[in-house]
Amino acid sequence: MRILTLSAAVLALSCQAQVKLPLNVPKAATALLPKSAAALTESEVADGLKEALVAGVKSGSSLLGAAGGFAQSEVYRLALPPEVADLEAKINANPVLRAALKPQIEQLKTKLNEGAERAAAKSFPIFRDAVVGISVRDALGILRGGQGSATRYLRSETEQPLQAAFRPAVQSALDEVEVAKYWEPVAKAINQNKRLLGRTEDIQTDLVAYVNQKATDALFREIALQEDRIRQDPVQRTTDLLRKVFGSL
């Protein structure tokens, strides 16, 4: 009996030596997390998000600022401002107005798109500064927020001051393409025939504000698309920081 008891004790000690249960269960669970996720700081996440957004700004500015970036795009091509676009069908239905205004309207569309392209080409430093200047609160939440979440945060924090900063570049771009030379005759003819076109008041369109809004919308869309590429495709993570931050997801 004493021999059997001694054998059982030896066996128990042997099992304890081979199976070492963790004394600190939370610490053991942390060890199972990806090292990159465990090592990230809030500051690194914020910097990684900003780096992804700057990459989107650069991509969007290059794409939209190229010749045809707006004019040849099914998504971004600018139509006439809404109050004029609503009258276009009536102008086309009137032979006299159509003959007088159709060529000028088409030229105006061309110049609006060319102006938007030139404004986009000037946008990179303005949008980059907006990205760099934001204070990213709850960076981890934004990182884990899914597609386009960093871009949506950027837009919510910066859109109005960003458009104010962007407006001089838009004005300069429209001046470069002499859009006023094409706009003023169209606006004058419409105002002279406003009753025939069913209007009671003159049109007073702020073309700079119109192009500013359209160009800003397009740039934010392109920034979001680039952010999504970085989230989805490791090849798009071209720096150590991007690989560390977005590789942790």
What are 70-107's pLDDT values in tens digits? 999 999 999 999 989 889 889 989 898 889 899 999 99
Provide the b/e sequence for 70-81 (b: ≥16 CB within 10 Å). bbeeeebbbebb
> Which pLDDT belongs to residue 39?
74
The pLDDT tens digits of the residues spanning 140-153 come to 999 999 999 999 99
Tell me which residue of 149, 144, 155 sits closest to 42, measured CA to CA: 144
**Which residues, in sequence order, are CB contacts of 157 under 8 Å at separation 6+?**
134
Report the pLDDT value the prediction gives residue 241, as an integer from 0 to 100. Answer: 96
Query: For position 23, what pLDDT does the model report?
Result: 35
Tokens 């927020």 found at? 145
**CB-side neighbour CA atoms (13 Å) of 171:** 7
Q: Are 189 and 91 in contact (CB under 8 A)?
A: no
Question: Average pLDDT, whole number, for the chain?
Answer: 87
Question: Which segments of the chain have a pLDDT < 50?
Answer: 1-36
**The pLDDT value given to residue 78:** 97
Q: Could you tell me the two tokens for 242?
A: 């991007």
Q: How far apart are CA 21 and CA 150, in angstroms?
A: 42
Q: Where are the domains of the chain?
A: 34-242
* Tokens found for residue 11: 């066996």
